[in-house]
Chain A
Amino acid sequence: MNREVFSVLGIFDSAQQLMDAIPAVKGKVPGKLEAYTPYPIHGIDKALELRKSPIAGMVLVMGFIGAISAMVFELWTEAVDYPMMTAGKPFWSWEAFVPIMFEAMVLFACFTGGLGMLFLLNRLPMFRHPMLSSRSMPLVTRDKFALAVETEGQRVDVDGISRLLQSVGARSIEVVEQMPATGPASPQFLFRFTVGVMVACLAAGYLTYWVIKLYPRAIPMVHMLDQPRLDPQREDSFFRDGAGMRMPAAGTVARGYMPYLIQSENEADLLPNPLPRTEEVLKKGRLTFNTYCSVCHGILGDGKPTLTAAYGAKPANLVSESIRDYADGRLYHVITMGKNAMTSYAADVGREERWTVVHYVRVLQRALNARDEDIPEEARK
């Protein structure tokens, strides 16, 4: 009698009987020969002519990928993207990256082996396989062994196959119909369940957000924001006047403060430069000039190739004839009080430093307007 069935199962009592039956059935039945056993039976893969498991190759490749990507990532982060010097080691000290490379290799390889075996090679999870609804399933997961002739829906001679299986020692026969098993739950239920969980998560997150927003007393993580201290420029109820900062006592003078009484540039012309023209002073002047002045006036003081010039401002040319004629005091006054668009530098550059800058500006003026006599005798030829 020919029928469309999924498979015909012959149930055996021991692994030995199953193994003995396989060669007797092989080649005499349509479809594919498969066995269902409660535990792995050694040698059955050869008897059933299963293809060699590609798991080792998969694991090897993914292990390499894990190792290489971890090493490349570590080198990129620690030596290229954010070079970080640790313990005086060079940036490309790959030795320190080996432990994590090894762990990444094992992680990639193990998950490839485990999940690749389950999901990729064995095509699990599969809840609707016809075998799962068979009467023999409880037996073959306990202590019985099934040899299955899997035709997967072809029209086959069921009785003939059953007789053949019985003749090689099968204790009983089960015909598994083509109908798929119902699985643990209907796909609709699983879909609704998943969507329900996701909606519940979103709702819980949204609710938590608003609860924390509306009842800030219950802030779970203050991140050290709550610090009992008086902030400058802020209100505070600690003092009667409601301000966090205190006024200094009347007549307080800051350390090192000297009143600057010069009112005009003409008055300033009379100020003498108190510093001698030593190499030390000039070096200090160069440092200060390069730090504060060169930004606008240029590294040579000529006001040209600077950022402000690029934006259309016109910083003074310090080596021009008019400024060369300035007295030292007038230069000092301009630095102290500012001029035109230039702001006062009194707060940034100290009193003595300003005088060193004046000396250094003189050096620049002389250097850019050098006369023949300035060149040493022996170099002039």
Chain B
Amino acid sequence: MNSRTVSMPGQILPESLRTPPITAGPVSLAELDEQVLSPVERKPPKAWFFAFAFTSAVMLLGMGLIGYTIATGIGVWGNNIPVAWGFDIINFVFWVGIGHAGTLISAILLLFRARWRNAISRSAEALTIFAIMCATLFPLIHVGRPWLAFWLFPYPNQRGIWPNFRSPLMWDVFAVNTYFAVSLLFWYLGLVPDFASLRERTQSKIRKFFYAILSAGWRGSASHWHHYEKAYLVIAGLATGLVLSVHSVVSFDFAVSLVPGWHMTIFPPYFVAGAIFAGFAMVVIVLVVVRTTMRLENLITLYHLEVMNKIILTCACLMGYSYLMEAWTAWYSMNSYIHHTFRQYVAGTYWWAGWTTITCNIVIPQLLWVRRLRRSYPAMIFVAVAVTVGMWFERFVIIVSSLHQDFLPSAWHIYKPTLVDCGILLGTFGLFFTLVLLFARVLPVIASTEMKSVLPGMQPRREGGTHE
């Protein structure tokens, strides 16, 4: 059999249907290393310092307000019965959701052997880790006395009691912590060979010391790669189940309760789709900045951005379906409380939040049907920011609009966030982008080793075709 025709079915396909090359122009291994690894060794440009100063100032504002909250008590927030969950849980769900794109790209697309994932997996995984860090802050400060948060873990204690494992909030503790630990491990494993490359490149003794420790003495022998690849694949498979479970568990916090508008079986898939949706929007925003400022246009190509925009479009359609399905379920329930809650979503006190959600999440992403807009920076940034805003408001609608008018009309209450609430939300954006900026200077933003293995012609020919 002629191996060429088998290995390249693209040759018999029309140009428009062929998978585009993963890099713009040929890239050699040494060039790749130079392009990806050298920014880590150089002094950052001035613009970086300005950006860093700005984001860390915003972060400090948030940290200060968190300190004020802890010292004073969470009475400084707008939460009050019946809206016991306000900005804190909205922001928690929002940030956890953002993290999901990273695991999807690094784990699920690895299983699907989507080669375009290799250029963006490192930064997407980094966003996952930073987003979970922002997310976990909120339940921690919402408990009021965060120094006692360790009570959530089942350890033998003199009180002789255990946490309630039947509570979805406990499931959340385990799901989010597992997710963070596994994401960090996965990220680190991907970094190990890159640390080895950095160790061998660097001229500075101090850097060499740290890279040597971080690379754990990785030497790239065939027998090591053999175990490494297998472990990576197995963890990717497990992480796939994990990423689907984490936002499902987050949705159980709502779905397991009896609040009208929350008690719905569609919540787990609906939350997972929304999480991937918001996460991809954030990845697009960050990658556009990274590829232009770090001159990585040939490695993170317009094709990458276009594919991600297609996923955003798909998720927007899924979200539209979910909203319709939710509304239909509400109508079909013949339950006057659920009817009332759904009328509140679009025509209540917070009607504007409901319509912002629908506009930003379903209407605006439809722009991406146009190929020219999928490949244009202003258009994709506009859509990504709209999706980020829309997904935040979606959680606002789910939490505040559902809670503020519950079963007991005498308890109804209009929720108003305070400035402290808004400042802490802003502060987590500061924290997130500060971490992103640090990441972009301290670690290689592209998994150079992974990229090498998928560059054209880098895998040996074998009987039956190339192994790319």
Q: How distant is the Cα of A129 from the Cα of B216 in the complex, in angstroms? A: 11
Q: Does A39 contact B218, Cβ atoms closer than 8 Å?
A: no
Interface centre among B221, B241, B453, B467 (most CB of A within 10 A): B221
Q: Is the CB of B220 within 8 A of A140?
A: yes
Chain B residue, CB-CB nearest to A76: B162
CA distance A50 to B165 in the complex (A): 45
Count how many chain A residues have C-beta atoms less than 8 Å from C-beta atoms of the other chain. 76
Contact A73 B154 (CB under 8 A): yes
Q: If A38-B220, A185-B209 touch, does A103 touch B178 (CB 8 Å cutoff)?
A: yes
Q: Once bound together, how far apart are the Cα atoms of A55 and B239, in whole Å?
A: 16
The stretch among A78-86, A326-334, A351-359 that forms the contact with chain B is A78-86
B231 & A109 in contact (Cβ 8 Å cutoff): no
Does B227 lie within 8 Å of A142, measured CB to CB?
A: no
- Is A89 positioned at the interface, with any CB of B under 8 Å from its CB? yes
Among the listed A18, A100, A142, A223, which residue makes an inter-chain contact with B200, where contact means beta carbons less than 8 Å apart?
A142
A197 at the interface (CB under 8 A from B): no
> Which among B166, B175, B222 has the highest number of chain A CB atoms within 10 Å?
B222
Check if B453 sits within 8 Å of A40, measured CB to CB: yes
Query: B291-334 CB contact bits vs A (8 Å, 1 = yes)?
Result: 00000000000000000000000000000000000000000000
Whether B29 and A35, one on each chain, are in contact in the complex, defined by CB atoms closer than 8 angstroms, is no
A84, A127, A140: the one within 8 Å of B212 (CB):
A127
In the bound complex, do residue A114 and residue B186 qualify as a contact, i.e. CB atoms below 8 Å apart? Answer: yes
Q: Which label, helix, strand, loop or mixed, suits the secondary structure of the B interface?
A: helix
B460→A118 contact, CB < 8 A: no
Q: In the complex, A138 Cα to B154 Cα: how many Å?
A: 47
Query: When the two chains form their complex, are residues A122 and B224 in contact, meaning their CB atoms are under 8 A apart?
Result: yes
Bound complex: CA A142 to CA B216 (Å): 18
B65 at the interface (CB under 8 A from A): no
Closest chain A residue, CB of each to CB of B209: A184
B460 touches A43 (CB 8 A): yes
- Our pick among B147, B170, B188 for the contact of A221 (Cβ within 8 Å) is B147
Please pick, from B161, B170, B467, the residue contacting A42 in the complex, using a CB distance under 8 A.
Answer: B467
**Would A121 and B227 count as touching, CB distance under 8 A?**
yes
B residues within 8 A CB of A132? 217, 219
Task: Give the residues in chain B near A36, CB-CB below 8 Å.
Answer: 219-222
Which residues, 110 to 137 on B, are CB-close (under 8 Å) to A?
none
Chain B residues with CB under 8 Å of A89's CB are: 166
Residue of B nearest to A40 (CB): B225
Contact of B222 among A45, A96, A113 (CB under 8 A): A45
- Given known A39-B453, A41-B459, A221-B147, contact A106–B226 (CB-CB < 8 A): no
B185 pairs with A141, CB closer than 8 A: no
Asked whether A235 is an interface residue with its Cβ less than 8 Å from the other chain, the reply is no
Is there a chain A Cβ closer than 8 Å to B164's Cβ?
yes
Q: How far is the CB of A223 from chain B (nearest CB, A)?
A: 7
A50 in complex: contacting residue of B196, B226, B235, CB < 8 Å: B226
Q: Hey, which chain B residues are within 8 Å of A122, CB to CB?
A: 223-224, 227-228
Q: What is the CA–CA distance of A38 and B220 in the complex, to the nearest angstrom?
A: 6
**A99 and B175 contact, CB distance less than 8 A:** yes
* B350, chain A: closest CB distance, angstroms: 30
Residues of A within 8 A of B171 (CB): 99-100, 103
Q: Is B245 an interface residue, CB under 8 A from the partner?
A: yes
Bound Cα distance A131, B231 (Å):
24
Most chain A CB neighbours (cut-off 10 Å) among B175, B227, B231: B231
Complex: A56 Cα to B233 Cα, angstroms: 10
**Do the beta carbons of B219 and A106 come within 8 Å of each other?**
no
Chain A min CB distance to B75 (Å): 13
Which chain A residue has the least Cβ–Cβ distance from B144? A224
CA distance A96 to B369 in the complex (A): 42
CB distance from A127 to the nearest CB of B (A): 5
| A124:B217 contact, CB within 8 angstroms | yes
Q: Is A336 an interface residue (CB 8 A)?
A: no
Given the complex of chains A and B, what is the CA–CA distance between A59 and B241 in angstroms? 15
| Range of interface residues on B (Cβ < 8 Å) | 35 or more
The answer to whether the Cβ of B15 comes within 8 Å of any Cβ in the partner chain is no
- Say whether A5 faces chain B, with CB atoms less than 8 Å apart: no
Question: Nearest chain A CB to B62's CB is how many angstroms away?
Answer: 20
Are B460 and A16 in contact (CB-based, < 8 A)? Answer: yes
User: Which residues, 142 to 193 on A, are CB-close (under 8 Å) to B?
Assistant: 142-143, 148, 183-185
Decide if B222 touches A103 in the complex (CB within 8 Å). no
The reply to whether B217 and A86 contact each other, CB–CB distance below 8 Å, is no
Indicate whether B189 reaches chain A with its CB closer than 8 angstroms: yes
| B174→A78 contact, CB < 8 A | no
Residues in A neighbouring B88, C-beta threshold 8 A: none
Q: Is the beta-carbon distance between B460 and A37 smaller than 8 angstroms?
A: no
Contact B222 A50 (CB under 8 A): yes
B219 to A137, Cβ gap below 8 A?
yes
B145 interfacial contact with A, CB 8 Å? yes
B residues 222-256 near A (Cβ < 8 Å) are 222-231, 234-235, 238-239, 241-242, 245, 249, 252
**Is B230 a contact partner of A53 (Cβ separation < 8 A)?**
yes
Contacts of B223 in A (CB 8 A): 34, 48, 50, 122
Query: Once the chains bind, are B165 and A96 in contact (CB under 8 Å)?
Result: yes
CB pair A34 B221 closer than 8 Å: yes
Please tell me if A243 contacts chain B, counting CB pairs below 8 Å: no
- With a cutoff of 8 Å between Cβ atoms, the chain B residues found around residue A45 in the complex are 222, 226
Determine if A43 and B467 form an interchain contact, defined as CB atoms under 8 angstroms apart.
yes
> CA separation between A35 and B220, bound complex, in Å?
8
Complex Cα spacing A122 to B216, Å: 10
Contact for B231 among A19, A116, A140, A185, CB less than 8 A = A116
Known: A42-B467, A131-B221, A141-B196. 11 other contacts (CB 8 A): A18-B460, A39-B458, A41-B459, A41-B460, A78-B162, A82-B161, A122-B227, A140-B220, A143-B28, A143-B33, A221-B145
The 9 closest A-B pairs by CB, nearest first: A143-B29, A184-B212, A117-B231, A125-B216, A77-B162, A138-B200, A39-B453, A35-B222, A40-B225
Interface, chain B (partner A; CB < 8 A): 28-30, 33, 145, 147, 154, 160-162, 164-168, 170-171, 174-175, 178, 181-182, 185-186, 188-189, 192-193, 196-197, 199-201, 208-209, 212-213, 216-231, 234-235, 238-239, 241-242, 245, 249, 252, 449-450, 452-453, 457-462, 467
The contact sample of 19 A-B pairs, CB cut-off 8 A, is: A39-B452, A48-B222, A82-B162, A87-B166, A97-B166, A99-B174, A100-B171, A106-B242, A107-B181, A109-B234, A117-B189, A121-B227, A124-B217, A126-B216, A127-B217, A137-B219, A141-B196, A142-B197, A143-B452
